[in-house]
Structure 1
Amino acid sequence: MDTAPRYDGGPPALDPAWEHERLRLDRLAVMTDPATREVLDSCAPDDPREIVEIGAGRGSVARALARRHPGARVWATDVDLRHLDTGGLPNLVPLRHDANGDPAPVTGVDLIHCRSVMIFLDDPYAALERLVGWLAPGGCIVVEELAGFPPYDPTTVLGGALDAVSEVLRHDAGADPQWVRDLMTDPPGPLARHGLVDCGAQMRVYPFQAGSPASEFSRLTLEQLRPRLLGQGRLTEDRLDTAVALLRDHDLDDPASAVLSVWGRRPR
C-alpha cells in the first residue's frame, strides 16, 4: 500500500469547504445513483432494520434507502456533515463518523453501503474487515469505487489530466489504486476473503458528453484540484484549461468515467 502522506499540511485534497463542492457531489449523485439504487434493491435483505451509509455526502443514497425501507433506521455517516440533506425523513439519522476506526453506530447491521470512500481510508482492507464485522447474519455490504475505463491514456490531453488527478489523489489523499484492482477480481477478493457469500460485481460506464453529470463531475474535480495540479507541476495551465474545455463543451468517445460496484452477504 502506498504510504505517502494523506495531506500536505493544508486542507484535504478534496476539500469539503471548496465553494463548488456541493455541486460536484450532486453531479456524482445524478450520474451514479440510478445504478446504485438497483444494486441496493437487489442486495437488501427482506425488512432490514438497521442500514448504514458510509460517506453519505449530500445524502441522496441515504434518503433513497430511508424512503425504500421506512421501517429501517438509516444511519447517514460522514466525517463532515455540512453538505448532508436529510430530506426531513424521520428514519434518517445523521452521524459524524470516521470509517478509519470509529466503532459501529449500531450492532447487527442489515445493509452497509459506501461509494468512493474506502479507497481514501488509511487501510481499506482493515476497514472492510471492521465493516463486515458489523453485519448481522444475512446482512449485505455494497462497496462502490470510481474507476477509469478504459485506462486513461496519459499521452492525450484529457487522459493526461485525469491521470494527473489520480496521481494527486494517490499522493495527497492516500488513495490506494491496488484496492480497486483487487475488487475487480472474480469473485471480489477482499470480500470473499472475509467469508462473504453471494458475492458479485458490475461495472457501469458513463461516457463524457458535454454537460453530462460524468463530464461535469470530472470537470469540477479538475477545478478543485487545480492548485495542486499546477503547484506540483503535474499539468501546465494550458493543458489543464484545454482538458476543462473538452469536458465542458465536447462529446467524447474515450476515455469515460466508470463505477465499480461489488457486494457480498454474511452467511446466516
Structure 2
Amino acid sequence: MSSGSQPSASGAAIPDEVYGDSIFDHGRDTEVSRLSALTEELDPVTWQCLQAVGVAAHWHCLELGAGTGTVSERLARVCHQGSVLATDLDLTYLPPPDDTNLTVRRHDVTAEDLPTESFDLIHARYLLCHLRERNQVLRKVVSWLKPGGWLLLEEPAQFPITSSPHSAYHTVSMGIFSVLAERIGTDCHWARHLPQSMAAAGLTEIGVHVTSSLVGGDRPMSRFWRLTLEQLAPHIVDGGHATAAQVREVATQLADAGFHDLGMATVSVWGRKEEMP
C-alpha cells in the first residue's frame, strides 16, 4: 500500500496509507509488545462475550485481523470438532500452519471476499475502526455468516478520555486519535454507533458489553497506550496536536503507578443472522 495523502475535490487531504504501512508496522521492534499488552487487557473480555454467544465444539469460525493469534488458538481448542480460519494482512505474529483445525491465511478484508454463508462465528477486534470502508466491510462480513451464525465485533471508543481531568493526558491522547484519523482513517467514535450499525446490517439478538480500562503504571492498557504514543509522538508534535513537553509529561504519567485515569473503552457487540424460515 502507498503512504501519504491525496487532495479531494474540496482540497482536503484524503489519507491513502493503511494500518501497518508505516504506522503499526509489524517490523517495528516494539509492535509485538504493544499488541501483546492489548491482548492481555482484552482477551478476558472477548471470552466473556463469546461465552454469552455460546460457542459450540462443531462451529466453523473466522477471526479477522487475528493479530497475535491468542483468540484464534483458543477458539481452535474449543471448536475441536469444527475449524478456525485466522486472517490478517501481516501474519508475522500468527502461529505457523500445523495439523490442527486452525488455518492461517493472509487476507485483505477490504478487497477480498470469502464464500457466503460459511461461518457459524465471525470475530474481529480493533479492526473495523481502522478501515475507511468499515460500513461496507460490515455488510460484507455479515454475508459470510451462516443463517443462525453470530458476529462479534469489539472496537475502541475514545469517549472516556474525552472527559479526562488531566490536561496533558487529554491533549496528547486527542492528538493520537487525530493522527490516526489523518494518516489511516481511523474512527474511534464509530464504536458508539455499533449496536445500531449491526442491527441495520440485518443482525438480531443484539448484545452489548462495554469495558472501561485504567492507565498508569504497568497496567496492560497503560503499556499499550504508552507504546502507541511512543510510535506516534513525532506525528503528534509535527502536526501541532501537542507540544514535545506535553508528550514527555504523558509518557512519564503512563509509566507512573501513582497516575490513575481512564483509557479507551472497548465496545463489544454481538448479533445473530436470522435463520431461514
Same fold (TM over 0.5): yes
Match of 1:247 in 2: 254
1:260 to 251, 267, 276: 267
Equivalent position amino acid for 1:264 in 2: G
Match of 2:233 in 1: 226
What TM-score, normalized by structure 2, do the two folds share? 0.87
Match of 1:127 in 2: 137
1:119-157 alpha-carbon deviations (Å, 9 max, x no partner):
111211110000000000110000001123424247711
Q: Does 1:13 align with 2:20?
A: no
Match of 2:3 in 1: none
Counterparts in 2 of 1:267 and 1:105: CA distance versus 1, 3 Å? closer
Q: How many Å separate the matches in 2 of 1:178 and 1:14?
A: 20
Equivalent position amino acid for 1:162 in 2: S
Q: Give how far 1:106 is off.
A: 7.3
Counterparts in 2 of 1:105 and 1:24: CA distance versus 1, 3 Å? farther
Q: Does 1:30 align with 2:30?
A: no
Q: Does 1:83 align with 2:63?
A: no
Q: Does 1:65 align with 2:72?
A: no
Q: How many Å separate the matches in 1 of 2:200 and 2:24?
A: 31
SS at match of 2:212: strand
Q: Give how far 1:56 is off.
A: 0.4
Counterparts in 2 of 1:48 and 1:26: CA distance versus 1, 3 Å? same
1:72-92 alpha-carbon deviations (Å, 9 max, x no partner):
211110011112135957111
For residues 27-176 of structure 1, the aligned pairs below 5 Å read: 27-85=37-95, 90-104=100-114, 107-153=117-163, 156-176=167-187
Between 1 and 2, higher relative CO (CA 8 Å, sep ≥ 6) is seen in: 1
Counterparts in 2 of 1:49 and 1:153: CA distance versus 1, 3 Å? closer
1:23-62 alpha-carbon deviations (Å, 9 max, x no partner):
0000000000001011112214534431000000111111
Counterparts in 2 of 1:59 and 1:45: CA distance versus 1, 3 Å? closer
Q: How many Å separate the matches in 1 of 2:103 and 2:115?
A: 10
Q: How many residues align?
A: 262
* Structure 1 residue ranges without an equivalent (≥5): none
Q: How many Å separate the matches in 1 of 2:253 and 2:189?
A: 29
Native 8 Å contact 1:198 1:265 kept in 2? yes
Q: How many Å separate the matches in 2 of 1:3 and 1:145?
A: 25
What TM-score, normalized by structure 1, do the two folds share? 0.90
Equivalent position amino acid for 1:99 in 2: V
Native 8 Å contact 1:45 1:140 kept in 2? no
Match of 2:204 in 1: 197
Native 8 Å contact 1:101 1:127 kept in 2? no
SS at match of 1:225: helix
Q: How many Å separate the matches in 2 of 1:85 and 1:149?
A: 34
Native 8 Å contact 2:116 2:143 kept in 1? no
Q: How many Å separate the matches in 1 of 2:236 and 2:249?
A: 14
Q: How many Å separate the matches in 2 of 1:38 and 1:3?
A: 40
Equivalent position amino acid for 1:98 in 2: D
**Which 4+ runs in 1 deviate beyond 6 A?**
none
Counterparts in 2 of 1:39 and 1:30: CA distance versus 1, 3 Å? same
Q: Give how far 1:178 is off.
A: 4.5
SS at match of 1:4: strand
Equivalent position amino acid for 1:244 in 2: A
The percentage of counterpart residues that share the same residue type is: 32
